[in-house]
Chains A and B, each alone.
Chain A
């Protein structure tokens, strides 16, 4: 069955420091992979997604993620964190590529990012 693991529940970084949020997935075929961000009291906003092709994916707000099939990972990175990046981040894997379940997502439990000024 599909599953997503985000090993870090909470990460604290200083503003201007680099960031890497880890995500590992379990999936029987080539997955669709996503990172979403959620600010307090808000819905989820899509940061970036991977379907195929270049394994380094660029997203919004200066984020990028790299798909590594050999490690079943899709880690999110940002070279220099801004205070406004403080939020909760969710990694998700898409459902089966065939058929009607394609769009359903399996989420990790999230990583809460705190940014020190």
Chain B
């Protein structure tokens, strides 16, 4: 099925460990996004990539890095995980007209 695929779905890390969240879309969308969702906070933008080869910070970029590997893939890296990064992470993409984003099913990350 066409859409946004995120891996892994669940992950537990120890403080200080690193990991990369993977995201791929098969809708030929130009723009991709990483959000985090925390209880009572809605979704907040971490980083986005308006097009292949570009990335920009969102509202809450500290502690994260991203790579737009190609048009399909946009990864999010935690270099040194902290308990404050315990959250649900969503990847999304949008097309040329940007008329609404399509979201992945999320990655639930726990940092202990």
Give the interface of A toward B (CB within 8 A).
4, 9, 32, 34, 36, 42-46, 49, 51, 90, 92, 94, 99-110
Given contacts A100-B51, A104-B58, whether A43 and B44 have CB atoms under 8 Å apart is: no
- Minimum C-beta distance from B25 to chain A (A): 12
Which residues of chain B come closer than 8 Å to A34, judged between CB atoms?
A: 100
A36 to B40, CA, bound (A): 15
Which residues of chain A come closer than 8 Å to B98, judged between CB atoms?
A: 32, 94, 102-103
Which residues of chain A come closer than 8 Å to B31, judged between CB atoms?
A: 100, 102-104
A9 and B40 within 8 A (CB): yes
Q: Which of B60-68, B71-79, B102-110 contacts A (4 or more CB under 8 A)?
A: B102-110
| Known contacts A100-B31, A105-B45; 11 further A-B pairs (Cβ under 8 A) | A36-B103, A42-B105, A43-B103, A49-B99, A51-B99, A100-B51, A101-B56, A103-B94, A104-B58, A106-B45, A110-B42
B90 and A105 within 8 A (CB): no
Nearest-neighbor residue (CB-CB) of A97 within chain B: B98
A43 and B106 within 8 A (CB): yes
